[in-house]
Structure 1
């Protein structure tokens, strides 16, 4: 199955603004991880960017997962892009 990377950007003051949505966000990610579609995801150390790796039948599924996430719906993630990724090693 194809793998995809996601790079995104967080809003300003993310640590404060994410608080009301954080548990729903984490619960959703846990379900994606359990189903096998989410390999890993997390912020950069400075909490300005987010990086994720997904394994899905097609890119549309990844976009749907991202755009249904509470962080996207509530402006915590302000932009993102997805690229198909070839794992060499």
Structure 2
């Protein structure tokens, strides 16, 4: 199954803005991980970017997951892009 890399950006006031959406965000990611579609995801240390790796049938599936996330719906993530990834090792 294809793998996809997702890079995104956080809003400037991420620590405050994410608070009311954080648990729903983490619960959703845990469900994605359990289902096998999410390999890993997390912020950069400076909390400006998010990076994730997904394994899905197609890019549209990954886009649906990202756009259903409370962080996207509530402006915590402000932009994202997805590229199909071919792991060498």
When normalised by structure 1's length, the TM-score is 1.00
Specify the SS of the correspondent of 1:12: coil
Number of residue-to-residue matches in the alignment? 89
Q: How do 1:19-58 residues align onto structure 2 when only pairs under 5 Å count?
A: 19-58=19-58
Q: Structure 1, unaligned stretches of length 5 or more?
A: none
When normalised by structure 2's length, the TM-score is 1.00
Q: Structure 2, unaligned stretches of length 5 or more?
A: none
Shift of 1:61: 0.1
**Large movers: runs of 4+ above 2 Å:** none
Shift of 1:13: 1.0
Shift of 1:17: 0.6
Note the alpha carbon deviations across 1:12-65, whole angstroms, 9 max, x for none.
110111000000000000000000000000000000000000000000000000
